[in-house]
Structure 1
Amino acid sequence: MKKVVLFPATLCLLLFLTAFRPYAEVELIKKRVLSERVEILIPKGFEVMSEQQMDFNYARAQSRPSVIYTNSKEASLAFTYTDNTADQDMIDIYAANFYKTYTKQFKEAKWFGNGIKEVSGRKVGYLELMKPELGHEVYQLIFFTDVEGKLLMCTFTCADRQKPEWETVAKQIMSSFRTNE
């Protein structure tokens, strides 16, 4: 009789624990991007977005990223190597200006953080927010630093509902950033 009572209780406990298990870990692999200028961890399975897809996605944008890694629109990591002059002393100024610009442009954004971090011995500015985009909310972690005298901006993006799965991964990506200077 006790076996009959224990089985349903054990089954309920197992279902409860399965429902609340953490998201599966995302495997990260080391990649060299932007003509080997940068080394960074990128989620396994992310592929470079085709030129045609980038043209379509950024047809109306003022500028488009240099390269985008994605996993079929679930999440993406974009690298924009700008023509803007930059060095380590300018990262604080860029961080303040980007924060000011984003708070004006996205008044309804929810902010999780912004500022400067030291990553691999370099100043890296960052903005972390949830903002409206094309009728829904997206989570973004934008981080930037100087590479060979120019500003490099990296943007990790995913849908708001996927933030719990990708937020830690995005921060691991930012923390893995290294320049090959």
Structure 2
Amino acid sequence: MSNLRHLCLLLLVPLTAFLQGPTHKITLLDGKVELQVPDQFHPMSDQEFQQRFRHGTSKPSLVLTDSTSEVTLTGVSTSMPATEDDMAAFALFQYQDLRKKHPDTEFPPHAHGTLIINGKKIGYLKFMPHAQDQVGFTWDFFALVDGKVLLLDLTCPISKQKLWDPIADQIIHSLKINSH
């Protein structure tokens, strides 16, 4: 029994260290938005972006990736006006729209809703899209900055979901919005 306990500890320590591993702060929109992201994330080059995403897709203002370019964190500031009271309805609309346009998309339990992060209501949507004969895992977040929707999106292969789901949770819980 003692050996099994030691083996479990040896296996869990590297994972826990990774999940709570080194992070660095990034800012968006002239410092109005702050996030803590894993140190392994770096800005995705234009070449990596063209290889990873569909031709004709415009590069978001934030595109970070890991060393494999399989995990990405993107951020797009929109001109879409909203209030915090709109976040639940916005997440529900995104969910319904995605189900309608892509019926093969899978959704986990509690796939959409809102969270309170650092005093701000944040909408979210989790889903597993089917693309190019692969299934991925995507966690979208919707936050308000100066009354406009900011979209944040973490995507990884489904095979890495169990690893990246808690990391995505840590990233979004580090979100600070420094605007009115």
- Regarding TM over 0.5, the answer is yes
Q: 1:115 & 1:144 partners in 2: Cα distance?
A: 10
Q: Who is 2:150 aligned against?
A: 152
Shift in alpha-carbon separation, 1:142–1:149, aligned structure 2, 3 A: same
- TM-score in terms of structure 1 length: 0.81
What residue identity is the alignment partner of 1:65? Answer: P
Match for residue 90 of structure 1 among 62, 83, 86: 86
Q: Is the 8 A contact 1:119 1:177 kept in 2?
A: yes
Q: How many residues align?
A: 171
C-alpha displacement of 1:106: 2.9
C-alpha displacement of 1:43: 0.9
| 1:108-160 per-position Cα deviation (integer Å, ceiling 9, x unaligned) | 33322211111111111101122212220111111111111221000011111
Q: Who is 1:41 aligned against?
A: 36
- TM-score in terms of structure 2 length: 0.81
Match for residue 76 of structure 1 among 52, 57, 72: 72
Once the two structures are overlaid, the 10-residue window that deviates more, 166-175 or 30-39, is: 30-39
C-alpha RMSD of the superposition: 2.5
Between Structure 1 and Structure 2, whose CA radius of gyration is higher? 1
C-alpha displacement of 1:105: 2.5
Match for residue 165 of structure 2 among 157, 162, 167: 167
Shift in alpha-carbon separation, 1:119–1:87, aligned structure 2, 3 A: same
| 1:32-80 per-position Cα deviation (integer Å, ceiling 9, x unaligned) | 2232121111111211112343355445456542211111313111001
Structure 1: 5+ residue runs without aligned partners? 1-9
Aligned-partner SS, 1:29? strand
Aligned-partner SS, 2:30? coil
What residue identity is the alignment partner of 1:36? Answer: G
Shift in alpha-carbon separation, 1:37–1:74, aligned structure 2, 3 A: same
